Every structure is written in C-alpha cells, then in structure tokens.
Chains A and B, each alone.
Chain A
Amino acid sequence: MSELPDQTTPRNSAIAPQLDPAEQTQTLRFLYSPRTALAGELDRPNPHAKKTTFQPEVVAALQSRFGESVLLVTLYAGEHTVYLTRDVIVDACTFLRDEHGFDYLGDLATVDRFTEDDRFEILYNLVSVVGKKRLRLKVRVDEDDAVLPTIIGVFPAANWHEREAWDMMGIRFEGHPDLRRVFMPEDFAYFPARKDFPTLGIPGSLPLPPRVSDGPVQLDPYPAAHGEKPQD
C-alpha cells in the first residue's frame, strides 16, 4: 500500500491531476517514460463517464459503517473505487446487497501489482439493477498470504469467478465448495496471469499429444520447429 496516494477523501476532479504545462512536452520525447497526466486531451470531464458509477452516498455509507476498514476511496473517470481490508469484504458485500440494493455481481477480477508488499489486488464490481448503481470494491493481499474469504454466500455468481482467480492468479478462497481450475487443466502447475509467468509458457508444463497414434506424449511444445514430423 506504500505507493498509493495518502488520502482518505475522494479526489474532486474527474480527470487525473494536471502537471506543470512545461512538463507536457514529455509526450513527444522518445524516451518511454510513463506518463502521469493527460497532456491536453481533455478540457472537460471525461466524456465517457457514466452516472451509475458515481456513488458518493454509497461510499459515505460504507465509510460510516466500516470506518477504519475503508482504506482509500478514489475517483477517476466518474468511477468510485473503495479499497477495503480483507476481513470486512464479506460484510461489506452483505451490507451493500441488503441495504443498498446491490443484487448483482458484475465481475471479480485480479491484478498483479508486482510489489514487495500487497502484491495482489482483487476487485469486485457490484451492480444494483433497479437502483442503477455500479460500485467497485478492492482488496489487496500479500503474495505469501493470498487467501480471501469467499463471497459465494452473498453472491453465488462468484463461484466461477473465484475459480478463475485461483486458476489465473493463485488466490485461494476459503469456504469455496469446489475450488478447481477453470481454464487450464489440473495437471498444469502454474498461475499464468502472474507477471512472473512468461507469455510463451514453460516448456514441459503442458504436454502435447503424440506424433503417432501409439506414441508417447511430447513434452516439447514446438516439435515441428525442431524437425519432428507427425505421421499417421
């Protein structure tokens, strides 16, 4: 959490903080240093911001109910995001479902932030269909302790989403009735969405079928490139 801005009040502007105009020339430099502000693309609030994601009342209710556990609230492009601690996430989801009408789970995603502390970020996208509201909740967990309580009791639709989080990022959900991999076969031993997993995979982690009908499986992922031609 050390690199997040130290503020607990929502930022007021719908656009990112503006830099010194003299620094805006960095957009034309050939050094690929990351940009930290928009360089004049927008003179007005984000044209794609939606009314449903701007929920100051719900955010205030969460802050008053959970107090210290609400670590940060951010606002970008008209979207409120609430950072919570791991132990209140189930209560927060229950609170939002029962008292604010957030009855639909939009999405459950994971992000690998690749930092020393609190590497993984799990986010929950909750929707209130009748109330026309959408809110994002986030929890950060450390790599050595990547366990979260499941929200299946609150939103049964989280079942496959949590399995996907387990499969792709290796985040375990305690209380999940059936935490198996959803995309990769169980024989696969890695978590592909992590930043330390190479894009091309690890040779031998996924065997290929044999080249002849009664042959052995091939552990080399590129046998054709190494001159092996299948027959039969």
Chain B
Amino acid sequence: MTTSVDAVVNWARSNSLMPMPMGLSCCAIEMMAFAGPKADAARFGSEAMRFSPRQADLMIVAGWCSFKMAHAIRRVWDQMADPKWCIAMGACASTGGMHRIYGVVQGVDNFLPVDIYVAGCPPRPEALLHALMDIQEKIRNQYSVSMDDREASRDFPTHLTVPAPVQATEASRRINDAVAAEAIATAD
C-alpha cells in the first residue's frame, strides 16, 4: 500500500482536510473554539470549513443526534463524495452520552461509518485537534487510492437483486462485432 502515488496523494489529502461541521449542540461550540483563534484548526490544513457536503471530506458530528435529525445527517453524508471520513465528537455522538432517552440515537455509528471517536463532554478543542491528527495519520498510513472506488469494496445492498457484473470477454466481443456488422449492413 505504500506506493509513491499513495504517499503523495495521502499527504495531500491529509493536509487539506475540509471539515463539514455537523454541529448539533454543545460540542458545536467547542468545535467553533477548535476553529477559533486559540486552538486553531487552520494550521492543520483545515482552514476551509465547508458546510456544503459536496465540498467537504471530513464530517465532524458534534452533539447528540436525535432520531429526527439522523435522517438529515445520513442524507448529508450520502452527498459527500468519496473519500470521506467521519469523526464522532463527544460522548453523545459516540454512544449517546448522558442522554439515555428515547429521543437520542445511542451513537451515530448506528448509521454512519465512524473513523474516530472523541471522548469528552464536550471534548476540549485540543482533543478534537488530536482526533484531526489521528485522521491525518489514518489517511497517511491506512488509506490507498485503490480504495477510492467504494462500490467494489462494500457489500451489495440486500434488498435489490443485481446481476453479476459483466466483463468484456472474447465471447462478448464476438457478439458485439456481429451486432455492429449487422447494424452497418442494415443502416441504409
């Protein structure tokens, strides 16, 4: 996995993470402090906090996620382009935290693939910076451009029946040529 292409691409990606702050509640305030002047996320390359999922590659879920909000978060996550990573910031996003109640999803990892969990209620901005550095390390050491094509590396959805992928083979090329020849012959 340590090709030079990977090394360069991972270096570029890890040093230019654009967080998508899914700031829900109190952890969002500490996330603002993480972007603020004292604990500055910009020095790690995460200057551009992009609220549009199309432009971001790191989603920081900060705060307790209610069942009502979970669908919105999942929709936003689905709109993010690959490769994308997720930080569950704080106890509430990781496990539901102190809110053991009907309205709160007991951890966003029930519906999001979380890469880093940050403990704390709320975590200090330094803890979130540590998580950012952990994501950077994860990208550098555990990621490869060959994983960019997520379709090939995940389970197929279970509720659809999908035919086996078609590969171009000798047989298919023969058929294709024959069909093309017939089309040309009957074109006029």
Stretch at the interface among B127-135, B136-144, B151-159, B175-183: B151-159
B154 touches A215 (CB 8 A): no
B111 touches A222 (CB 8 A): no
B101 touches A224 (CB 8 A): no
Cross-chain pair count, CB within 8 angstroms = 77
Interface residue A232 (Cβ < 8 Å from any Cβ of B) = yes
Interface residue B74 (Cβ < 8 Å from any Cβ of A) = yes
Q: How many residues of B contact A (CB 8 A)?
A: 27
B68 touches A213 (CB 8 A): no
Residues of A within 8 A of B73 (CB): 209
Query: Which single member of B101, B102, B111, B113 contacts A210 (CB below 8 Å)?
Result: B111
Residues of A within 8 A of B150 (CB): 232
Q: How far is the CA of A224 from the CA of B109 in the complex (A)?
A: 7
- Interface of chain A, helix or strand or loop or mixed? loop
Query: Which single member of B70, B78, B110, B154 contacts A224 (CB below 8 Å)?
Result: B110
Query: Which single member of A201, A211, A225 contacts B111 (CB below 8 Å)?
Result: A211
Q: How far is the CA of A225 from the CA of B95 in the complex (A)?
A: 10
Residues of A within 8 A of B158 (CB): 215-216
Residues of B within 8 A of A202 (CB): 102
Q: A189-221: which residues lie under 8 A (CB-CB) from chain B? A: 192, 197-202, 206-216, 218, 221
Q: How far is the CA of A183 from the CA of B158 in the complex (A)?
A: 33
Residues of B within 8 A of A185 (CB): 68
Distance to closest chain A CB from B155 (angstroms) = 6
Residues of B within 8 A of A209 (CB): 70-71, 73-75, 111
Residues of B within 8 A of A218 (CB): 110-111
Among residues of A, the one whose C-beta sits closest to the C-beta of B113 is A230
Chain B residues engaging chain A, CB cutoff 8 angstroms: 67-68, 70-71, 73-75, 78, 100-103, 105-107, 109-113, 150, 154-155, 157-160
8 A-B residue pairings within 8 Å (CB atoms):
A192-B102, A208-B110, A210-B74, A210-B111, A215-B158, A223-B110, A223-B111, A224-B107
